[in-house]
Amino acid sequence: MKIRSLVCAAALIYTGNLFAQETNLVKYVNTRQGTNTKYEFSYGNTYPATSLPFGMNTWTAQTGKNGDGWKYQYFEHTIRGFQQSHQCSSWVNDYAVFSLMPVTGKLVVNEDERAASFSHDNEIAQPSYYKVKLDNNITTEMSPTERGAHLRFSFPKGKASYLVLDGYTKMSEVKIIPAERKITGYVNNCRWAPKDFRNYFVIIFDKPFVNYGTWENKKNTLVAKNQTAEGEGVGAYIQFKDGETVQAKVASSYISPEQAELTLNTELGRFKSFDDTHKAADKVWNQLLGRMAVEGGTEDQKATFYSCMYHANLFSHQFFEYGKDGKPYYYSPYDGKIHDGYMYTDNGFWDTFRAQFPLNTVLHPKMEGQLVQALLDAQQQCGWLPAWSFPAETGGMLGNHSISLLADAWVKGIRTFDPKKALEAYYHEATNKGPWGSANGRPGWKEYYTNGYVPFTPQTLGSTAWTLEFAYDDFCGYQLAKLTGNKFYEEVFARQMYNYKNLFDTKTRFMRSKDAQGNWIEPFDPMDWGGPYTEGNAWHWTWSVFHDTQGLINLMGGEKNFTAKIDSVFTEPGTIKVGGYGQVIHEMTEMAEFKMGQYAQGNEPIHHLLYMYNYAGQPWKAQQHLRDVMDKMYNAGENGYPGDEDEGQMSSWFVLSAAGFYSVCPGTDQYVIGSPLFKKMTIALENGKKFVIEANNNSKENVYIQSATLNGKPYTHNWITQADIMNGGVLHFEMGDKPATNRGIAPEDRPFSLSKAQ
Whether the Cβ atoms of residue 26 and residue 282 lie closer than 8 Å to each other: yes
Do residues 265 and 312 both lie within one domain? no
Same domain, 250 and 300: no
pLDDT over threshold 60, residue 638: yes
User: Is 758 part of a structural domain of the chain?
Assistant: no
Residue after which a domain boundary falls, among 244, 265, 290: 290
Q: Give the integer Cα–Cα distance in Å for 608 and 540.
A: 10
Residues 602, 694, single domain; the answer is: yes
Q: Which domain holds residue 101?
A: 30-290
Would 7 be classed as within a structural domain? Answer: no
Q: Find the mean pLDDT for residues 527-539.
A: 98
pLDDT at 22: 55
The string of pLDDT tens digits covering residues 4-29 is: 323 233 333 333 333 344 589 999 99
Greatest distance between any 2 Cα atoms in the chain: 82
Interatomic CA distance for residues 670 and 367, integer angstroms: 20
Instruction: Give the tens place of pLDDT for each residue, 213-250.
Output: 999 999 999 999 999 999 999 999 999 999 999 999 99
Helix (H), strand (E), coil (C) string for 658-716: HHCEECCCECECEEEECCCCCCEEEEECCCCCEEEEEEECCCCCCCEEEEEEECCEECC
Q: Please count the structural domains in the chain.
A: 2
Per-residue pLDDT, averaged over 689-706, amounts to 98
Is residue 202 a part of any domain in this protein?
yes
Distance between CA atoms of 699 and 706, rounded to whole angstroms? 13
pLDDT at 1 over 60: no
Q: Confirm if 587 and 603 have CB atoms less than 8 A apart.
A: yes
pLDDT at 18: 38
Please say if the pLDDT value at position 3 is more than 70: no
Backbone angles phi, psi at 23, to 5 degrees: -120, 175
The three-state (H, E, C) secondary structure of 68-120, written as one string? CCCCCCCCCCEECEEEEECCCCHHHCCCCCEEEEEEECCCCCCHHHHCEEEEE
473 within 8 A of 430, measured Cβ to Cβ: yes
In-domain check, residue 11: no
- For residue 219, tell me if it sits in a domain: yes
The pLDDT value recorded for residue 4 is 31
Domain membership flag for residue 481: yes
- What's the mean per-residue pLDDT of the chain? 96
- pLDDT of 23: 84
Average pLDDT over residues 531-539: 98
- Mean pLDDT of the 21-44 span: 92
| 361, 250: one domain | no
Q: What is the pTM (predicted TM-score) of this model?
A: 0.96
pLDDT at residue 641 tops 70? yes
Specify the pairing of strand 234-240 against strand 317-318: unpaired
- Give the pLDDT band of residue 637 (cuts 50, 70, 90): very high
CA dist., res. 524 & res. 533, Å (int): 12
In the predicted structure, residue 585 carries a pLDDT above the cut 80: yes
Question: In the 3-class helix/strand/coil scheme, how is 542-597 assigned residue by residue?
Answer: CCCCCCCHHHHHHHCCCHHHHHHHHHHHHHCCCCCECHHHCCCCHHHHHHHHCCCC
Question: Over pLDDT 70: what percentage of the chain?
Answer: 97
Q: How far, in Å, CA of 562 to CA of 108, rounded?
A: 64
Is 638 a member of any domain? yes
What is the SS3 assignment for 400?
coil
Q: Helix, strand or coil for residue 392?
A: coil
Same domain, 405 and 537: yes
Residues 570 and 708 in one domain: yes
Residues 740 and 647 in one domain: yes
Task: Judge if 459 and 536 occupy the same domain.
Answer: yes
Give yes or no for a cis peptide into 605 (omega within 30° of 0).
no
Give residue-wise pLDDT tens across range 547-575: 999 999 999 999 999 999 999 999 999 99
Domain boundary among 272, 290, 308: 290
Inter-residue contact 325 to 259 (CB < 8 Å) = no
Does residue 373 share a domain with residue 270?
no
- For the chain, what percent of residues have pLDDT higher than 90? 97
CATH at 363:
1.20.1610.10
User: Residue 248: which CATH number?
Assistant: 2.70.98.10
| pLDDT tens string 279-321 | 999 999 999 999 999 999 999 999 999 999 999 999 999 999 9
Closest CA to 158 of 244, 64, 229: 244
Whether residue 2 is predicted with pLDDT greater than 90 in this model: the reply is no
Select from 615, 477, 51 the least CA-distant residue to 284.
51
In this structure, the answer to whether residues 59 and 146 fall within a common structural domain is yes
Looking at the domain assignment, is residue 44 inside a domain? Answer: yes
The strand pairing partners of 240, in sequence order, are: 161
Q: Which residues pair with 671 in a beta bridge?
A: 720
Q: Are residues 272 and 298 both part of a single domain? A: no
Q: Do 450 and 527 fall into the same domain?
A: yes
Last residue of a domain, one of 224, 258, 290: 290
